[in-house]
Amino acid sequence: MNVYRLDPIKPGHPSWRYSQEKDTVWACAPTAEHARDLVAAKSGFAGRDAPGAISPWRDEAVTSCVLEPTMHLMRAETVVREDGSLVDF
């Protein structure tokens, strides 16, 4: 299982109003796409009922998602903050 680091690269983008999590996170997932989906699912997406709303974590123009080869001790399907706490709204 891989670990991906997701960083906000456009913090002023309107899609951030839909996410409760707005800081850098790490996700343990098999692919970058799965990592984005996992973070979107666990970050408290509040736009489910808004037409056209998309989680900022799924948008490559709003967040980066890069493989973090130095991290190996995360459990599969988890998302953590820099302080090690779990993201799961």
Domain count, the chain: 1
86 within some domain: no
pLDDT score recorded for residue 59: 96
The whole model's pTM is what?
Answer: 0.91
88 within some domain: no
CA dihedral 12, 17, 23, 28 (to 10 degrees): -120
pLDDT score recorded for residue 48: 67
pLDDT score recorded for residue 74: 87
87 within some domain: no
Mean pLDDT, consecutive 10-residue stretches, the chain (89 aa), reads 97 93 96 97 80 90 96 90 93
68 within some domain: yes
49 within some domain: yes
Q: Using alpha carbons only, how large is the chain's radius of gyration in Å?
A: 12
Task: List the domain range (segments joined by +) for residue 39.
Answer: 2-81
pLDDT score recorded for residue 72: 80
